[in-house]
Amino acid sequence: MIFGYYLDFCDEKKLQESTLPMFFEKGSHRVITVQEVSLQYNFTEVTEWFVLSGQMARYHTPHDFKKATDSFSWALEVQNVLMLIWDPGAKKIFYQRYENYTPERLRFWVYHTFLPLVCELERTYRMLHVGSVEVAGRPICFSAFSYGGKSTLTDYFLKQGHPLLSDDSLGIEKRDDGYYAVPSYPFHRPYREVETLGYHTKNFAKEPKMLHALYALEKSDPDAEVQIEELKGIEKFKAFHYSSFVDFGFMKRERFDFFSQMAKEVPAYSVVVPWDKARLGEVYDAIVKHSQEI
């Protein structure tokens, strides 16, 4: 499952066979069909090109994003690769091939970028840009600025046998009893590479569970002492708010409210991380021990 959905790549047998179980009902609302389409979508608004995962990309929308309040159709164009279009009525992802299209690129852009954006814009989940694993059956997540070590630390946890929830993007679902971490996709990248999902892992979390804690990684000197301290007040709010997967300005108010409430219920901690791979074991031991004690 990818963010709680089965994806049916109906025009790509190679991808379809690896993602859609034979026993699963295609009529279920938990299936999103990914289908090639030839007709041209004419959106009235097109953004400027910007860099996204090493490629130039831009959004196509029926109106200014700032005026968006309800579900609407929109598209993400990746220059010379493909166009991905979200159809909210049919709950389908359509795509158009460009000259540098490959099935692998289709899967990368759907898993890594497009579906998380759909989940955010449809208000299905709030997306966090974090790594996440289970410790003793409870999800924890790691946040950090770019190249701050979260992918490397996530990989270390996986090598110790912990189930993976997220290598890069984690869905958060608010339920009556708390905030649940929704597993993303069963791939991880120890080090960032352009347009690759990384290695497949069989030890992937199967269902959403209540998020136990967030650990904000703080890069430090190689000889620094590993320390874990609880975050409170505005610093705690920032740990959640600045870990957002995407920052659409028109969603600023609702995102602020969501993370303000989340910060009241989910504990957050800063972790001083010595910038020395040889000491990853110390960071791992400290976080495991701490997460089991709280």
Which domain-ending residue is among 106, 122, 138?
122
Average pLDDT rounded to a whole number, residues 226-251: 92
Average model confidence (pLDDT) for the chain? 90
Model confidence pLDDT, tens digit, residues 239-283: 998 898 888 888 889 999 999 999 999 999 999 999 999 999 999
Sequence-distant (6+) residues with CB within 8 A of 228 are 215, 269, 270, 271, 272, 286, 287, 290
Whether residues 152 and 273 fall in one domain:
yes
The CATH number of the domain holding residue 213 is 3.40.50.300
Residues 235 and 147 in one domain: yes
Instruction: Judge whether 40 lies within some domain.
Output: yes
CA atoms of 192 and 111, how far apart (whole Å): 15
Q: How many domains does the chain have?
A: 2
pLDDT tens digits, residue range 66-98? Answer: 665 567 889 999 999 999 999 988 889 999 999
Domain limits for position 104? 6-122
According to the per-residue pLDDT averaged within each range, which of 25-29, 166-170, 213-217 is highest?
213-217
Look at residue 112 in the predicted model and tell me its pLDDT: 95
37 assigned to some structural domain = yes
| pTM > 0.95: yes or no | no
Kindly state the average pLDDT of the residues 184-189.
93
Residues 37 and 112 in one domain: yes
Write down which residue in 75, 100, 122 finishes a domain.
122
In this predicted structure, the answer to whether residue 152 has a pLDDT above a threshold of 50 is yes
